[in-house]
Amino acid sequence: MILVTGATGFIGSHLVRRLVEQGERPRCLVRDVERARSLLPGTELVQGDTTRPETLPEAVQGVDTIVHCAFVTADRKQTAATRYYATNVEGTDNLIKAAKEAGVRRMIELSGLGTKPDKPGSYMQGRYLAEQALTTSGLDWTIVRPSVVFGKGAPFISGLVNLIRTSPVLPLLGGGKIMFQPIFVEDVVSVVLFLLEHPEQTSGRIYTIGGPEYYSFEQILDLLTRTMGKKRLKVPAPLPFVALGAAVLEAVLPKPPLTREAVSLFTFDNTTALDSVERDFFFIPVSFRAYLQEQGV
| pLDDT tens by residue, 27-65 | 999 999 999 999 999 999 999 999 999 999 999 999 999
Q: What is the distance between the alpha carbons of residues 204 and 143, in angstroms, rounded to a whole number?
A: 8
Name the fold adopted by 2-146+185-209+273-282.
Rossmann fold (3.40.50)
Write the DSSP string, 117-179.
--STTSHHHHHHHHHHHHHTSSSEEEEEEE-SEESTT-HHHHHHHHHHHH-SEEEEEGGG--E
Domain ranges of the chain: 2-146+185-209+273-282
Residue 80 has pLDDT above 70, yes or no: no
Largest Cα–Cα separation, the chain: 57
CB proximity list for 251: less than 8 A, separation 6 or greater:
none
Q: What is the distance between the alpha carbons of residues 12 and 110, in angstroms, rounded to a whole number?
A: 9
Write the DSSP string, 66-116.
EEE-----TTSPP-SSS-HIIIIIIHHHHHHHHHHHHT--EEEEE--TT--
As a whole number, mean pLDDT of residues 164-175 equals: 91
Q: What is the distance between the alpha carbons of residues 105 and 88, in angstroms, rounded to a whole number?
A: 21
Q: Contact, 40 vs 13, CB < 8 A?
A: yes
Q: Tell me, what amino acid is at 128?
A: Y
Average pLDDT score over the chain: 94
Q: What is the distance between the alpha carbons of residues 58 and 98, in angstroms, rounded to a whole number?
A: 9
Q: Contact, 71 vs 115, CB < 8 A?
A: no
Q: What is the distance between the alpha carbons of residues 199 and 141, in angstroms, rounded to a whole number?
A: 9
pLDDT in tens, 89-132: 999 999 999 999 999 999 999 999 999 999 888 889 999 999 99
Q: Which of the 8 DSSP states describes residue 284?
A: P
pTM of the model: 0.94
Instruction: Give the per-residue pLDDT at 77.
Output: 75
pLDDT in tens, 250-290: 888 888 878 888 888 888 999 999 999 999 999 999 999 99
Would you place residue 212 in the very low, low, confident or very high pLDDT band (cuts 50, 70, 90)? very high
Of 242 and 4, the one with more pLDDT:
4
